Amino acid sequence: MTHTPKAISRSPDFIIRRGNAGDAALLAELGARTFSETFAPDNSPADMAAYLATAFSPSQQTSELADRETLFLIAESDGIAIGYAMLRSGNVLENVTGKNPIELVRLYVSQDRLGSGVGAALMQACIREASRRGHKTLWLGVWEHNARAQAFYRKWNFTEIGTHVFHLGDDPQTDILMQRTISDATG
């Protein structure tokens, strides 16, 4: 008998479920693929390879899935993962000023699903989960050259609060820090 993970959100085309210990290989592949789809054209192959090898290794995903401060939300369509989000509490950067913050570490959607509502559904699920856990602020870092993601986050009422350095391999890059308030009513 196969165990089917419980959906926390449904749409006609996909579900969103919480990640579990058995998702390490899935997240390693999906994370590396979606990160590459988005950032490989604008970065050196060496820097991409170095980052992907550490950030999206199966062992790193296993460690992140086991971390009690981390939550993965996975979007699936017909049993195939098409996007995911990663939330993590703790380790708050000094620019983050909101109350009881939680970081949106990643929100990645497969290239062929961009614009289909998967990202919006993942964001809604992140806000709902953060609120359910008592957080009042959602914050993130987004690459200064990723205009599409910045526009998406602004649409969700994130505002800029500073910058920080993100290392992609040997390349120090600038991420824009953004945050938004989480109200008791989600959205």
Question: SS3 for the chain, per residue?
Answer: CCCCCCEEEECCCCEEEECCHHHHHHHHHHHHHHHHHHHHHHCCHHHHHHHHHHHCCHHHHHHHHHCCCEEEEEEEECCEEEEEEEEEECCCCCCCCCCCEEEEEEEEECHHHCCCCHHHHHHHHHHHHHHHCCCCEEEEEEECCCHHHHHHHHHCCCEEEEEEEEEECCEEEEEEEEEEECCCCCC
Using CB atoms within 10 A of its CB, is residue 19 exposed (0-12), middle (13-18) or buried (19+)? buried
Annotated catalytic, 153? yes
Count the neighbouring beta carbons within 10 Å of the beta carbon of residue 178: 24
d(CA 112, CA 68): 32
The one catalytic residue in 51, 84, 108, 153 is 153
Q: What positions carry a catalytic annotation?
A: 153
